[in-house]
Structure 1
Amino acid sequence: MDKNGPPPTYSSAQSGWTQPQQPPPGWTPAQNYQPAQTYQPSGPAPAVIITAQPTHVHYNAPVGPVSSRVICPSCRADVHTKLQHEPTTQTHLMALCLFCFLCWPCVCLPYCMDSCQNANHYCPNCNAFIGTYQS
């Protein structure tokens, strides 16, 4: 590239570019094109109201050790579940181990702790069983 001279010019003949051709006389498009109409409001801009969307709740939502928000499959109500804790075989085995290792004053602890029991979830409206969380 020469630093002293002007840059080279590019013409249509050099670059291989050709002028777009005009349609032949009598040619009409297959579909009449109509541009989309735009909406132009008159006056001040409308107010925008943003509302909070409720969280999405599934019918088969997993339940945990605490009350969960679900849609009851029986009455179709959006509810927070009612919990009932129930001792399991594992709870009884823990109490037996405490008794065997001479910690008999602590035998009642597994029955008093919710973390050692299963949590059964029920609908507070219709008392339908929803699910169990096994600890």
Structure 2
Amino acid sequence: MSAPPPPYPGKGQEAGYPAQPPPPQGYGQPYGAPPPAAYPAQPYGQPAQPYGQPAQPYGQPALYGQPGQPGYPQQQGQTTVVVAQPAVTVVQQFRESPVHTRCPHCQAEVVTATQFETGSFTWIICLVLCIVGCIPCCIIPFCVDGCKDVIHTCPSCHQTISRYSRL
């Protein structure tokens, strides 16, 4: 069902229609007119204040919930707990490929230079090949970089930064 049509001019309560309520404030105001007094204007770029709170001057922080503010209870014995975050330590892994690091000797930010040297793993593979009976093949581990240790050196000061042993 629909509502009854609005009364025609000249007809009102005497025609059986209910009285019309007055239009709300601000209704029918020209475009650009100031808002009604119920909604105070806010300066450009400032957030609206909560109901019942005084406006803060521009550039000063609002102190909501601080002791002494009207509308907030005074709290006694507040305890603030500050938890220190653990320090994050980055552990660099020196493996087969060059690594971007800081040289502990010359303090330069460098990408390490790598060299391959015969190590314990090379000799163990050679010994296993001899025991198995593959004597001509026991020379292969000395030719393959995957069986050798890796030495990381600084290209600036030529000092050894780290050694990656395969064992």
Aligned to 2:58: 34
Alignment of 1:15-30 (within 5 A): none
Aligned to 2:118: 87
Aligned to 1:96: 127
Secondary structure, in 3 states, of the residue corresponding to 1:94?
A: helix
Q: C-alpha displacement at 1:75, in angstroms? A: 0.9
Percentage of identical aligned residues: 28
CA-based RMSD of the aligned residues comes to: 3.2
**CA distance in structure 2 between the partners assigned to 1:63 and 1:109 by the alignment:** 25
TM-score relative to the length of structure 2: 0.45
**Pair 1:74-2:105 in alignment:** yes
TM-score relative to the length of structure 1: 0.54
Alignment of 1:37-52 (within 5 A): none
Question: Unaligned 5+ residue runs, structure 1?
Answer: 7-18, 24-28, 37-57
- CA distances 1:69-122 after superposition (whole Å, capped 9, x unpaired): 222121122222122222222221110111122211111111111111111101
Q: Which amino acid aligns with 2:92?
A: A
Conserved 8 A contact 1:79-1:123: yes
- Greater RCO (CA < 8 Å, at least 6 residues apart): 1
- CA distances 1:22-59 after superposition (whole Å, capped 9, x unpaired): x9xxxxx7x961259xxxxxxxxxxxxxxxxxxxxx98
Question: Unaligned 5+ residue runs, structure 2?
Answer: 5-37, 39-50, 61-88
